[in-house]
């Protein structure tokens, strides 16, 4: 079955099961304090599964203690032409070039407006990115674009993530350069504090595995200087090195970000680099290449406070998160 069609069928089933799943107790509770928030456990669902905030509240029933929605952009956009999502089963990997398809910040904010925060309940992260039509070399326009999303969505988020690391929006990764990233994050921080006055919303940045070690450490230093709450490591990779899949099949997938098992080694190393640099001063969320319960344990041992999965869920099935939670306990 086409991978994107399978995704939408799953999504529709979750919508149908909404009332039952939403009321279900989150299994595997082992609360973790991070960023001033209480997470029911260390396991989260990475962004990309629920881009538009329609089924995130169902995912606690499968074991997730937090869900990150998005990536959401200021403007609604259809994303890249289809087909744009492909599986590589021999590598337990996925290639996507979705292109931040989403309903836009205003619509997503409206969906989240009725959400009630429950102490110890499912933690909601909101991941925001740049609208495709905004040129990455116009810093003022980029900041204005992220400001729109921040003002609309920060009031509904338990934590907010600035995504500058997807390979599927032209020029987006250029914003990872510290000289561009630092003023952008500072602007988002100011905007968040103006939009939400009754609490401090934690702000994190998500980085790519393709950064050099030197650039990873530069981002760590910048996050400390700006007083960010944490770093999420890592997004998908543009590399195709070391894959077991037939090269013709890999080539047929075309451009896009690779996720899944092949990311494990580099994503773990990035977490280890970050922890060595920041000590206990930042929260680190490890994501990328977690395909087995042992992988999740390895990421925690490398220095992650929390972990997120997505491709592992695709290959592991709905019972897989509970196996991961068992390993984390």
Query: What are all long-range contacts of 240-246, with beta carbons under 8 Å and residues at least 24 apart?
Result: 243/88, 243/90, 243/91, 243/93, 244/90, 244/91, 245/88, 245/89, 245/90, 245/91, 245/93, 246/90
Q: At what angle do helices 213-226 and 264-278 cross, to 10 degrees?
A: 40
Cβ atoms of 132 and 98 within 8 Å: the answer is no
Q: Within 10 Å of residue 288's Cβ, how many Cβ atoms?
A: 34
- Please state the residue numbers annotated as binding site: 47-51, 71, 96-100, 127, 163, 168, 206, 234-236, 260, 289, 310-311
Tokens 């640099």: give the residue. Answer: 277
- Please state the residue numbers annotated as binding site for substrate: 51, 96-100, 163, 168, 235-236
Known active-site residue 166: yes
End-to-end CA distance of the chain: 35
Residues 149, 165, 166, 291: which is the catalytic one? 166
Q: Within 10 Å of residue 241's Cβ, how many Cβ atoms?
A: 8
Residues labelled as active-site residues: 166
């Amino acid at each position: 079955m086409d991978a994107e069609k399978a995704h939408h069928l799953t999504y529709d089933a979750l919508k149908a099961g909404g009332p039952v799943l939403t009321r279900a107790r989150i299994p595997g509770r082992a609360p973790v304090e991070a960023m001033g928030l209480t997470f029911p456990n260390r396991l989260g669902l990475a962004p990309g599964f629920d881009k538009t905030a329609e089924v995130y509240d169902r995912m606690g029933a499968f074991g997730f203690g937090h869900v990150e929605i998005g990536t959401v952009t200021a403007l609604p956009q259809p994303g890249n032409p289809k087909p744009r999502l492909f599986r590589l089963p021999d590598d337990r990997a996925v290639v996507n070039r979705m292109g931040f398809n989403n309903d836009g910040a205003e619509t997503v904010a409206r969906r989240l407006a009725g959400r009630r925060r429950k102490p110890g309940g499912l933690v909601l992260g909101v991941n925001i990115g740049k609208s495709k039509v905004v040129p990455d070399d116009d810093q003022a326009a980029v900041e204005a674009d992220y400001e729109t999303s921040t003002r609309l969505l920060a009031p509904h988020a338990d934590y907010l993530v600035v995504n500058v690391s997807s390979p599927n929006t032209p020029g987006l990764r250029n914003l990872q350069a510290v000289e561009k990233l630092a003023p952008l994050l500072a602007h988002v921080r100011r905007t968040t504090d103006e939009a939400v006055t009754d609490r401090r919303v934690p702000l994190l940045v998500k980085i790519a595995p393709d950064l050099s070690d030197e650039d990873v450490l530069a981002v760590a230093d910048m996050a400390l200087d700006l007083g960010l709450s944490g770093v999420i490591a890592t997004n998908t990779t543009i590399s195709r090195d070391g894959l077991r899949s037939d090269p013709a099949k890999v080539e047929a997938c075309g451009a896009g970000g690779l996720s899944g098992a092949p990311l494990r080694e580099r994503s773990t190393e990035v977490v280890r680099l970050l922890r060595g640099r920041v000590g206990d001063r930042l929260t680190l969320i490890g994501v990328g290449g977690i395909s087995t319960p042992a992988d999740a344990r390895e990421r925690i041992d490398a220095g992650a406070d929390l972990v997120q999965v997505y491709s592992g869920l695709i290959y592991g099935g709905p019972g897989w998160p509970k196996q991961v939670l068992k390993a984390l306990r």
